[in-house]
Amino acid sequence: MSTCLLCEHHPTDGYLCPSCSNLTAQRLGRLPRLYTALAAFLAPAAQAQRHGGSSQGGPAPLPVAEHVLTMRGPGGIVGILEDWRSAMHDARRWPAPVLTTGIPHRVTAAAAALGYSMDWVARSWPEAGQFAREIRDVHAAAASVVHPQLAEERGTRLGKCPAVDPEGLVCGAILRHYPGERAVTCRWCGCAFEPHEWGDLRRWIDEESNTELEKAS
């Protein structure tokens, strides 16, 4: 048993814990949509207006938003995904991946191929930690442009997860509730709390918070 290379907190039989593996797969699934959405933010004036700013006054903006152009260019999202896809093929001794035409299709193909192999990545690939970090970072960079204040990205902070593992250790990761989700699910340990359990969950979180305050005083 070792420690997850991404969260550096939870134990795993491979290189990524189940929670980090699932989150990485979800980010891979969203990257093609984020790539497409970034096109609307190429013009700095349009980006300011979408985020509540103004394009009037001050010096004329650049023709394009450079950081958005970089993410949509050959060395951006598509480059990161295809580099990792090639590295995975090398590690598995597979033939080099065949590239499709057009960057949007290449982003979709590479993200899908990596997503399909997440079980192997989490279980067997020593590079899984660095891979998951880069996917997390590029996803965060794209999401910060497309919807910087979207509630789905940050959720509502509830408190610490009270789930106990087989060794008797409390998870303690921060729980968040995201709009549209029925259950409160811990992103670290994967424990889900259904609506009928929320009363007990609230009481446990309140008791834990009070205990911490007493220790600090």
**Per-residue pLDDT at 46 exceeds 60:** no
In sequence order, which residues have a C-beta less than 8 Å from that of residue 136 and are 6 or more positions away? 6, 23, 24, 27
C-alpha to C-alpha distance for 38 and 53, rounded to whole angstroms = 17
The predicted-structure confidence for 10-45, as pLDDT tens digits, reads as follows 889 999 999 999 999 999 999 999 999 888 888 764
C-alpha to C-alpha distance for 85 and 100, rounded to whole angstroms = 13
C-alpha to C-alpha distance for 85 and 80, rounded to whole angstroms = 9
Q: What is the pTM of this model?
A: 0.64
Q: What does the domain layout of the chain look like in residue ranges?
A: 1-149, 150-217
What is the token pair recorded at 160? 């610490």
In sequence order, which residues have a C-beta less than 8 Å from that of residue 58 and are 6 or more positions away? none
How many other C-beta atoms are found inside a 10 Å radius of the C-beta of residue 80? 19
Residue 158, H or E segment: strand 156-160
The predicted-structure confidence for 122-144, as pLDDT tens digits, reads as follows 999 999 999 999 999 898 888 87
